[in-house]
Amino acid sequence: MANPLTEKIRGILSPVLGEFIADSAIRVNCERIGVTNDTLATQQLTEFAEKIKITLFIFLSEKKAREVVQKIKKIKG
């Protein structure tokens, strides 16, 4: 079973990035903070969101990237 937290993040990212890029962004940014998609925990969301912001700047406007980051930070485990 997939991690409910990463599934929620995927739900936020997929509409703006597409499923493939969303999945890749989650995987890469989990690795950047030393976890996997399966082990990402709520207490790591802020660190994860700050890392993924850099990735989002590649694909989205700065304003949209910041909106997405805020949505991720507000996720409840």
C-beta atoms surrounding 1 within 10 Å: 5
Runs of H (alpha helix) within 1-77: 4-17, 19-32, 45-59, 62-73
Tens of pLDDT, residue by residue over 38-67, are 999 999 999 999 999 999 999 999 999 999
CA dist., res. 9 & res. 65, Å (int): 13
pTM > 0.75: yes
Tens of pLDDT, residue by residue over 3-50, are 999 999 999 999 999 999 999 999 999 999 999 999 999 999 999 999
Q: How confident is the model at residue 1 (pLDDT cuts 50, 70, 90)?
A: very low
User: Strand, coil or helix: what is 43?
Assistant: helix
pLDDT of residue 2: 81
